[in-house]
Amino acid sequence: MSNYRILFQLSGSIACFKACNLISMLVKNNFEVVCSTTPNALKFIGISTLEGLSGRNVYHEMFESRPKKALEHTELSKWYDLCILCPATANVINKMAAGIADDAVTTSFLAHDFKTPYLIAPAMNKNMYDHPTTKRSIMTLKQMGVTVLDTDFGRQACGDVGNGRLLPPEDIFEIIANKLNTGPGEK
């Protein structure tokens, strides 16, 4: 496939391990991937795993001192062809809809240029997904121009059965590829 540039954002969900499969799939298909995480995502997945899969530094701390670091959230928004937040927690979805920018992921979102696609793949417990606040936030984000993916119905990590499971990585891969219109010979 292509050399499209993907900013791959992760937030603190049990589904982070599934997102790793998707990152691997993207890299194997020649997408350039940079990962960015909320601090809580790093309680589910390690920086070394994300660096190993993407072959790039992970953007997770806004105030860490290193050359050019201070500008990364705005520089990144000019770098990528598509951004995906996967998995997207209820917390980060609600923060984004409210315009809160207090970590690397939400600050990058506020610096997002809507000329490029921004995808959100929710993953959460069914009650969090069906909560009126989350529903309203998803609607708000869609109205902004964000592509909010559906979720799967099924058994959840907590044992509940319902909506809110992350879509299979293969399905999300197809959605990304279609969004970028990638095919043999493109980019």
Supply the minimum distance, in Å, between the C-beta of residue 14 and ligand FMN.
4
DSSP structural state of residue 59: B
- Pairwise CA distance, residues 97 & 146, whole Å: 10
Tokens describing residue 114 = 């809507």
Instruction: Choose the binding region for ligand FMN from 13-21, 45-53, 107-115, 174-182 (rule: CB under 6 A).
Output: 13-21
Nearer to ligand FMN, 28 or 136 (CB): 136
Q: Which is nearer to ligand FMN, 77 or 91 (CB)?
A: 91
**Which residue in the set 40, 49, 116, 140 belongs to the binding site for ligand FMN (CB under 6 A)?**
40
Residue 58 engages ligand FMN in binding (rule: CB under 6 A): no
* Structural Rg of the chain based on CA atoms: 15
- Sequence-separated (6 or more) residues with CB below 8 Å from residue 170: 25
Please tell me whether residue 13 binds ligand FMN under the rule CB under 6 A.
yes
Q: How deeply is 23 buried, as exposed, middle or buried, from its count of CB atoms within 10 A (0-12, 13-18, 19+)?
A: buried
Q: Is-cis flag, bond preceding 87, omega within 30?
A: yes
Whether residue 140 contacts residue 109, with contact meaning beta carbons closer than 8 Å, is answered with no
For this structure, is 158 an active site residue?
yes
Q: Which listed residue (91, 107, 151, 182) binds ligand FMN by CB under 6 A?
A: 91
If binding means CB under 6 A, how many residues of this protein chain bind ligand FMN? 15
Which amino acid, residue 136? R
Helix (H, G, I), strand (E, B) or coil at 122: strand
In this structure, are residues 125 and 161 in contact, taking their beta carbons and an 8 Å threshold? no
- As a whole number of angstroms, the distance between CA 110 and CA 44 comes to 24
Q: Of the ranges 57-65, 78-86, 87-95, 144-152, which one interacts with ligand FMN (CB under 6 A)?
A: 87-95
Is there binding between residue 116 and ligand FMN (CB under 6 A)?
Answer: no
- Nearer to ligand FMN (CB atom), residue 13 or residue 108: 13
Smallest distance from ligand FMN to CB 94, Å: 9
For ligand FMN, the binding residues (CB under 6 A) are 11-15, 38, 40-41, 89-92, 123-124, 128
**Active-site positions?**
158
